[in-house]
Chains A and B, each alone.
Chain A
Amino acid sequence: MAQNSEPSTHVVAPEAVPVIPRGVRLVEDAARGGFVLLAPERVYKLDSVARHILERCDGKTSVAGIVDNLVTAFNAPRAQIERDVTAFLGGLAEKRVLEWR
């Protein structure tokens, strides 16, 4: 299973809208437990933070909107959530499994 560990150099603007493109799917992995992102020749195992971010990538909500949503849902510090969301989505975009609108 592929891991997302490499640091991202991808710049993520707060107003950018992340879009999960065709050929990339968020699915539950019943056999091994948890959720995964299926992409060309790749299976990314998702921790719960990653899953909550991706579930909010509806093709309409901006990065800032996703951050706001998570801050409210988890009552967590905004700066930390922003860092997590930006790093995670930037990493996926660099791997060409996420696009921007």
Chain B
Amino acid sequence: MTLTSPLVLLAELTHRCPLSCPYCSNPLELERRGRELDTQEWERVLREARALGVLQAHLSGGEPTARRDLEEIVAVCAQEGLYSNLITSGVGLTSERLARLSEAGLDHVQLSLQAIDEALADRIAGLPGAHRRKRAVAEAVTALGLPLTINAVIHRANIHETRALIDHAVALGARRIEIAHAQFVGWGLLNRPALLPRRAAVEESLAAVETARRDYAGVIVIDAVIPDYHARYPKPCMGGWGRMGLNVTPSGRVLPCHAAENIPGLDFWSVREHSLEAIWRNSPSFNAFRGEDWMREPCRSCDRRNRDFGGCRCQAMALTGDAAATDPVCHLSPHRNLVEAALAEAEAADALEDYRYRGYGAP
């Protein structure tokens, strides 16, 4: 197997965040501020990433604007020629700070929207008033000439707003929107009973996306895929384990995907002890599911194994207890019944369950 160069770095600058969304992609055990990499350490990571072939850096979190040195981090990306993408909730982000980030060379802003309905949005975010700030942030982004993407995580409570979210993104001047169905690992799995939509709602949402794509051709790009629980085949998670990208946690641990810490027994190396190149090439966690040797049947002899790479390792772990199993959302998986059982529960449930909000300390 030939080793490819990574294309994308997801830099989780901090796990601190004013929001507590129940589908948060951060691990259940959040890292505290005292363990975060400092400015110089991030500068080194970004330089090493660029030398390794990375072209795009997603500056994420938590809420990345909680870092006071974000301007310096953006400036290093610009110096190195890394395309910098700020992934933010916009909460606490002033137009003055955005102007400074733009000046430092920021390339793109991705702003999250929790819902259209303000009360619902604030309930999902777990923070009253969170939603109200977003319009001003979007306006400040477009006024600076920066491209804006709206990211909307879609789940049971807001899936009926799919079209309204797209309309709103157009009104905010976004060039792109991600209709991102909630993923059920970590916090998302913990909250699955409250998040998993019914099939009819999923079908309506997919139809709304198709209609909006026709209505807004050339106006906004809509990125949306069939949510994997409702699909026949798994998603090509991360474009293949250790193939396209790497994720650096706030304390410098390097993961093949942001949820990889949900897989027990993997040895994650830290940028505090190794170069990014050594980690990419040699760390046991990156090599654990590279290529095809680790695959079991039905993946091993499947003609899609080069397209979906067996699906999501974290999901296989979370549902079957075996990270090397076929992603159970695949209709060929012997564990598809686990997904069907969750879907049947979602069909039967009448009321929305309460959220278990993300936060520090055991959930």
Q: Which of A's residues lie within 8 Å of B, judged by CB? A: 1, 9-10, 21-25, 27, 29-32, 36, 38-41, 43, 93-96
Q: Which size class do B's interface residues fall under? A: 20 to 34
The reply to whether A43 and B147 contact each other, CB–CB distance below 8 Å, is no
The reply to whether B147 and A23 contact each other, CB–CB distance below 8 Å, is yes
Partner of A23, one of B7, B55, B107: B107
- Given A21-B145, A96-B176, A40–B81 Cβ distance below 8 Å? no
Q: For A43, what are the chain B residues with a Cβ–Cβ distance below 8 Å?
A: 7, 55-56
B316 at the interface (CB under 8 A from A): no
- Given A9-B217, A22-B146, A36-B55, A41–B85 Cβ distance below 8 Å? yes
Write the nearest CB–CB distance from A72 to chain B, whole angstroms: 31
B191 at the interface (CB under 8 A from A): no
The reply to whether A41 and B147 contact each other, CB–CB distance below 8 Å, is no
Quick one: closest A residue to B54, CB to CB? A31
Partner of B145, one of A9, A22, A39: A22
Write the nearest CB–CB distance from A12 to chain B, whole angstroms: 11
In the complex the two chains form, what is the Cα distance from A30 to B108 in whole Å? 23
Q: For A95, what are the chain B residues with a Cβ–Cβ distance below 8 Å?
A: 221
Q: List 18 A-B contacts (CB under 8 A).
A: A22-B147, A23-B108, A23-B147, A27-B55, A30-B53, A31-B53, A32-B5, A38-B107, A40-B85, A40-B110, A40-B176, A41-B56, A41-B85, A41-B178, A94-B217, A95-B221, A96-B218, A96-B221
Partner of A21, one of B7, B147, B176: B147
The reply to whether A24 and B56 contact each other, CB–CB distance below 8 Å, is no
In the complex the two chains form, what is the Cα distance from A1 to B240 in whole Å? 12
Q: For A94, what are the chain B residues with a Cβ–Cβ distance below 8 Å?
A: 217-218
Given A9-B217, A24-B147, 8 further pairs, Cβ under 8 A: A21-B145, A22-B146, A23-B107, A27-B55, A40-B176, A94-B217, A96-B218, A96-B221
Write the nearest CB–CB distance from B54 to chain A, whole angstroms: 8
The reply to whether A41 and B149 contact each other, CB–CB distance below 8 Å, is yes
In the complex the two chains form, what is the Cα distance from A41 to B245 in whole Å? 13
Q: For B17, what are the chain A residues with a Cβ–Cβ distance below 8 Å?
A: none
B83 at the interface (CB under 8 A from A): yes
Q: For B221, what are the chain A residues with a Cβ–Cβ distance below 8 Å?
A: 95-96
Q: For B146, what are the chain A residues with a Cβ–Cβ distance below 8 Å?
A: 22-23
B208 at the interface (CB under 8 A from A): no
In the complex the two chains form, what is the Cα distance from A23 to B52 in whole Å? 22
